[in-house]
Amino acid sequence: METLKSRIPEHLVQTVKSSSSVDDLLSSSSSLLSFLVGLPQFHQAVSELADPDLGCCGKSQESSLDLKRRGNLCFRSRSFDDALRFYSKALRVARDNTLLASLFLNRANALHNLGLLEESLRDCHRALRIDPCYAKAWFRRGKLNTLLGNYKDAFRDITVSMSLDSSSAGKKQLQNELLAIPDFQNKQTSENTLCFAAADLPNVQSEVKLRCVSTKEKGRGMVSESDIEQASVIHVEEPFCVVISKSCRETHCHFCLNELPPDSVPCPSCSVPVYCSESCQIQSGGMLSTNEMDKNSIFHNLPDDIVDHIKGVTSAVRYYSETECLQEHQHECRGANWPAVLPSDAVLAGRVIMKLINQGETAMDLSNLHDKLDLSHSYSKMSPESKLELHLLSIVLIWCLNKSCCPDLSVCEASVSQTIILLSQIKVNSMAIVRMKSSGDSFKCIPAGNVSAKEPIQSLEQIRVGQALYKIGSLFNHSCKPNIHLYFLSRGLVMRTTEFVPVGCPLELSYGPEVGKWDCKDRIRFLEEEYFFNCRCRGCSQMNISDLVINGYCCVNTSCTGVVLDSSVAACESEKLNHFLAAAKSLDHHCLVSEKVYAGVSEVASSLLIKPSGSLHIKADKCLKCGSRCEVENSHVEVNKAWNHLRRVEELMNSGRANISVLSDCLRSIAVLRTFLHMYNKDIADAEDKVAQACYLAAEMKGAREHCEASIKILKRLYGDEHVVIGNELVKLASIQLASGDSSGAWETTKRLSQIFSKYYGSHAETLFSYLSCLKLEAAKAVNL
């Protein structure tokens, strides 16, 4: 894209960059399209993106055979994890059915040796769906069903294998296997789980009524038409279109976006997507690898119940009858490079365009695309450079769609201009689908009193796994102090209230920034740059302790709890306070609201609670409680030195070189931070967290608990006691308490974090956080409950 951009003449660049509104798009799109169509470098670039014969995303028999060979070598050396990895890679690029069947069976053998019996059974099933006469796959399936207690299925599997084995020695071995299967006549046969069940979205309570309104300040938004209780589900929605994040293509299902199991399912037509199950593969638009041969003629010598068993195992019909096909990947499934190379916004736009075309909802020149989606956009507010990039990306996307999958799609100024609008809509309306991941590969509760010196404290991080458009969800406006929380079940959106919401009150979520996460100036700057509006929510228009202390410095008077601000924060907070004072109708009103809004502010900035005669200007470098002077610049230098040292210490901890010396260095650094920063500054909370980690790794459990609790104490002042961030931090505290043998403390902490998570996630808390039930179980066992 940069090469193409450098070829555009300067006068044309300026024409595109100066397109100030949507009305200018037809003209600027036409000019740029005409130039690029006559540019040889453009045709070369789009050919490399759109021509399947030039792509690297197709199937390769040679690569598959090489990967299979490497997997076999690992298997023979009993490196089963590596064998599994190579077989999975080989499956993604294999095209021949015979090779596919053997790879599925090889992977089943590796999974079996790793103790993953259900996963191994599913791979046997896949091999047999491709080759119903695969005797080794029937035998492996029989062994697995025996181990899983599915004795009736095991008997039938071995019987089929025996009918296919022509050697007398083989038949004798199989006969012995049959005799070894326990009597199944009076046993319950387990149903094999052949695909993952999709998470069902909850129902919205019948009493919840929402209404879309439009205001001058925020445009369209959602309000409640009734009182809504805390933790109520107010909205659920499946995405209009969704695309996986590039960073998660190897780790998460390309349809449901959940983590991939060890027996992931490849796309049968290209090498890009992988799925957690056949159900997700079909919904995405792929066809199953199968062989619907006449089983009656092949197995005519077997009893009817065995033949019916063979049909049930090897047929793919039920997958299609039980699964809705959304076909969202089908247009990308030709082996061309563009779906793997273009930015996620463009791939998502391609899915939107092809969905509307397939549904007959839009013309082939996309002239009514904007009306069909009915989403807001902010093209006119974008930077000139962004406008140029959108023009170029739209032309490339339309060209790729036309050449790779939709020859009837018009490559013209109308389709390009509509795609530019679509990309600008995606910019401000799409949502990041996230998952919470624990610090390790999987959460493992540490038994009470047992801690490994190399095991980190359990913690949570947010992983962005996908990007999606939710047509109703996009109507909810932003607030830095939101009253609703969103989360995702698979790819479905769920919204819950986090507080009581009275009738007529706006229902608002966070677009990223929140009070407690960043200070006001940083939140406002982010929202202006990413969403093109100046935030005036209650968090950005009312004084709160969090914005004052989050990056604040301490007073030189050690007995004073006041905060000192730098010039940028002081200017932002001055504007905020004057805006609030101007809005107050009377002194009584001001005092009433002050009591409610300024809770805690008096502790750190009591001077701000005195109503001035005119406008108020908060002075930088001056304590907002006692008025003492503080040299913020000098403090800033010392703080940076301490943080540089902490970062070096963190590198040592991450490399497993934590010891008492490292811990001492941490303690010295945090002492410096406490000397210069306000006691509620978020940097101290982050530093306390790192010191807790150092203590934990050095087996200093008392120190780990104390520093973790100190971090949580600060975060409570920034976010509030009930915020989900506090729940995440309590996970760390509970794991420290369990590891140190404080069973009663761990039990109380676990109950507390469960209450917080229930407020934000309701009954889905344990579904979303698998460690939660483990943590509860370990804590309960420790206190003999």
Each domain of the chain, given as residue ranges in start order, spans 632-784
Q: Are 696 and 740 in contact (CB under 8 A)?
A: no
**Choices 1.25.40.10, 1.10.287.610, 1.10.357.10, 3.10.20.310: CATH for 632-784:** 1.25.40.10
Strand pairing partners for 488? 493
- Over the Cα atoms of the chain, what is R_g? 31
Cβ neighbour number for residue 442 with a 10 Å cutoff: 10
Element of type H or E holding 428:
helix 413-429
CA distances from 260 to 263, 266, 444, 657 (A): 8, 11, 19, 32
What are the backbone dihedrals phi and psi of residue 265, each rounded to the nearest 5 degrees, phi first?
A: -105, 120
Cβ neighbour number for residue 190 with a 10 Å cutoff: 13
Element of type H or E holding 388:
helix 384-404
**pLDDT tens for residues 707-764?**
999 999 999 999 999 999 999 999 999 989 988 888 889 889 999 999 999 999 998 9
Q: Are 519 and 550 in contact (CB under 8 A)?
A: yes
What are the backbone dihedrals phi and psi of residue 753, each rounded to the nearest 5 degrees, phi first?
A: -70, -30
- So what's the pLDDT on residue 661? 74
Phi-psi region of 366 (alpha: psi -120 to 50; beta: other; left: phi over 0): left
- So what's the pLDDT on residue 298? 66
Q: Whole-angstrom Cα distance, residue 372 to residue 589?
A: 47
- So what's the pLDDT on residue 292? 57
pTM: 0.89
The 3-state DSSP class for residue 577 equals helix
What are the backbone dihedrals phi and psi of residue 534, each rounded to the nearest 5 degrees, phi first?
A: -95, 110
Order of strands, sheet of 460-469, starting from the edge strand that comes earlier in the sequence: 241-244, 460-469, 431-438
Contacts of 50 (CB under 8 A, 6+ apart): 336, 337, 338, 399, 400, 403, 404
Contacts of 407 (CB under 8 A, 6+ apart): none
The bridge status of strand 477-478 relative to strand 508-509 is parallel
Q: Are 135 and 164 in contact (CB under 8 A)?
A: yes
Q: Whole-angstrom Cα distance, residue 458 to residue 442?
A: 10
Q: Whole-angstrom Cα distance, residue 361 to residue 148?
A: 49
**At which residue do the structure tokens 């990309």 appear?**
423
602-620 in b/e form (b: 16+ CB < 10 A) is ebbbebbeeeeeeebebeb
Q: Are 273 and 284 in contact (CB under 8 A)?
A: yes
CA distances from 315 to 22, 127, 269, 290 (A): 53, 12, 20, 8
Count CA atoms within 13 Å of residue 345 on its CB side: 17
Which parts of the chain sit beneath pLDDT 50? Answer: 186-197, 440-443, 448-449, 451-454, 585-596
- CA–chain centroid gap for 405, Å, is 29
Q: Whole-angstrom Cα distance, residue 75 to residue 83?
A: 5
Q: Whole-angstrom Cα distance, residue 259 to residue 135?
A: 32
Q: Whole-angstrom Cα distance, residue 584 to residue 623?
A: 26
Q: Where are the beta strands (DSSP E) in 273-426?
A: 274-275
Q: Whole-angstrom Cα distance, residue 412 to residue 429?
A: 25
Amino acid letter, 11:
H
Q: What is the 3-state secondary structure (H, E, C) of 447-476?
A: CCCCCCCCCCCCCEEEEEEEEEECCCHHHC
Name the token pair of 453. Answer: 């010196």
